[in-house]
Structure 1
Amino acid sequence: MVSIASTFKALCLSFLFIAVASRPTIRPKVFNVRRYGSRPDGKTDNANTMGFAFVNNSRIKDITSLNSKMGHFNFFSVHRFNITGVTITAPGDSPNTDGIKMGSCSNIHISNTNIGTGDDCIAILSGTTNLDISNVKCGPGHGISVGSLGKNKDEKDVKHLTVRDTVFNGTSDGIRIKTWESSASKIVVSNFIYENIQMIDVGKPINIDQKYCPHPPCEHEKKGESHVQIQDIKLKNIYGTSNNIVAVNLQCSKSFPCKNVKLIDINLKHTGLEKGHSTAM
């Protein structure tokens, strides 16, 4: 996942870019970016469908985004924003086609939305707080991801996230928090609630990865533990199936161990012949 600075740069390359606005409403539209020469191969171009920066007290409703060139909806420094009734679609093998990506945002509500992409359904980056996600269907894709975090200097805490009444279907990950080893920022990830979530044939339904390295060897790999503190996380009533023998992976930093992570009523079954299990490090 890219830094906040590069996220803002990507915003300026969006098919539709809205900046410094208050109370705009976009509804209802269908945007099929293939009509504008898009190819979802991660190589042809670097434009996103929509970008919002420094936008307050606004919403998008009943919009469909098809086959984005890169990410579909990017948000930077957006506050008090509602997203509802949105459909996001891209091939499962299309790289870097994040559904909704946000950094330095607050008081965002995402509800009644269907997302299927080749990357994160929702990506939550540095400085985002007070995010409420409900009644979202995710798949295909890489799940709802916090991060990656810690790679760059001057990153900010990510706090107060709620994900509830959500379904992950055929995704590589479900609930995911990822931070870099030997991270450049000492930040806190805290006060998360995940509740009433169904997993259907998900690779890693619950995945806390504080040794994140997407394309080894990584610059920070084997140089030390992550400096991102993960704490006060509650996961309740998480159920369904996993196609991976390890359904719950808690790979926390040895220097800043996870604190107060609660798993309540977790019922995940392996779809293969072997009995599934969880790992904690």
Structure 2
Amino acid sequence: MGFAFVTDSSIEGITSLNSEMGHFNFFSVHHFNITGVTITAPGDSPNTDGIKMGFSSNMHISNTHIGTGDDCISILSGTSNLDISNVTCGPGHGISVGSLGKNKDEKDVKGLTVRDTIFNGTSDGIRIKTWESSASKILASNFIYEIIKMIDVGKPINIDQKYCPHPPCEKKGESHVQIEDLKLKNIYGTSKNKVAVNLQCSKSFPCKNVQLIDINLKHNGRHEDGPATAVCQNVDGSARGKMVPQHCLN
């Protein structure tokens, strides 16, 4: 189901079952509410994004369950003022911003809040992905993630500014997408991978003002791999409160 150039509308109480491709697509949609929606597809079904949006603003997604073979929610270029609450995601690839930076005509992504959300058995949880050799210089800013539960998530917190999944992408340059003003608060649960917090930012445009507050992510993979760890590259920020794994910010 697709919505384009729609304003002041809503969907409520709909179930989307086994869509062949993405379930709900939004383009240039403004002031739109999504509540009480159920999205279901097998975990191995390709390109079955639950909710995908671009060039949209002032959207609210709440009380929704998404299980799919791709991103539960995909947030693309030109999206602003998006509020997500009380969402359960799994299976799937988490709530993803991006990928960003691949095309020249992309616009900033700003103003995202994700709260009171559960990721259960997903490959990723909180995910931001930007292309390694990006064509556009844009800003991804003012993101807040709080009260997020991770249950057996592959990569609970994953900023990947070296996104290069397949040719013709070339691993030759740095991402030109600036990520700044990112707050991660009260993120807890279990990580399948030893690296539970991955902050891999651009060398040319380091992440700015990343706040970690009360992070408690335990590794529940192979015991011999040891406790969870965090990895930081080119990131400026601060940490306070409980920190498991130990943070790696300067």
Q: TM-score, normalised by structure 2?
A: 0.91
Q: Which residue number in structure 1 is paired with residue 240 of structure 2?
A: none
Matched, 1:241 2:190: yes
Shift of 1:213: 1.5
Q: Which residue number in structure 1 is paired with residue 229 of structure 2?
A: 277
For residues 72-103 of structure 1, the C-alpha deviation after alignment (integer angstroms, 9 at most, x for no partner) is: 00000000000000000000000000000000
User: Which residue of 100, 113, 133 corresponds with 1:162?
Assistant: 113
Q: Which residue number in structure 2 is paired with residue 69 of structure 1?
A: 20
Letter paired with 1:265: D
Matches for 1:54-203 after TM superposition, within 5 Å: 54-203=5-154
Asked if the contact 1:92–1:141 (Cα under 8 Å) also holds between the matched residues in 2, the reply is yes
Letter paired with 1:201: D
Shift of 1:220: 3.7
Shift of 1:221: 2.5
Asked if the contact 1:189–1:229 (Cα under 8 Å) also holds between the matched residues in 2, the reply is yes
Asked if the contact 1:106–1:128 (Cα under 8 Å) also holds between the matched residues in 2, the reply is yes
Letter paired with 1:267: N
Shift of 1:204: 0.2
Letter paired with 1:100: I
Give the Cα–Cα distance (whole angstroms) in 2 for the partners of residues 243 and 226 of structure 1: 27
Matches for 1:19-38 after TM superposition, within 5 Å: none
Give the Cα–Cα distance (whole angstroms) in 1 for the partners of residues 192 and 135 of structure 2: 34
Shift of 1:154: 1.0
Q: CA RMSD in A?
A: 0.7
Partner SS, residue 6 of structure 2: strand
Asked if the contact 2:101–2:134 (Cα under 8 Å) also holds between the matched residues in 1, the reply is yes
Asked if the contact 1:103–1:128 (Cα under 8 Å) also holds between the matched residues in 2, the reply is yes
Q: Which has the higher strand share?
A: 2
Give the Cα–Cα distance (whole angstroms) in 2 for the partners of residues 214 and 184 of structure 1: 16
Partner SS, residue 135 of structure 2: coil
Letter paired with 2:175: S
Shift of 1:119: 0.1
Asked if the contact 1:183–1:220 (Cα under 8 Å) also holds between the matched residues in 2, the reply is no
Asked if the contact 1:149–1:178 (Cα under 8 Å) also holds between the matched residues in 2, the reply is yes
Asked if the contact 2:93–2:125 (Cα under 8 Å) also holds between the matched residues in 1, the reply is yes
Matched, 1:232 2:184: no
Matches for 1:2-41 after TM superposition, within 5 Å: none
Runs of 4+ in 1 over 3 A off after TM superposition: none
Partner SS, residue 95 of structure 1: coil
Give the Cα–Cα distance (whole angstroms) in 1 for the partners of residues 86 and 170 of structure 2: 37
For residues 148-195 of structure 1, the C-alpha deviation after alignment (integer angstroms, 9 at most, x for no partner) is: 000001100000000000000000000000000120000000000000
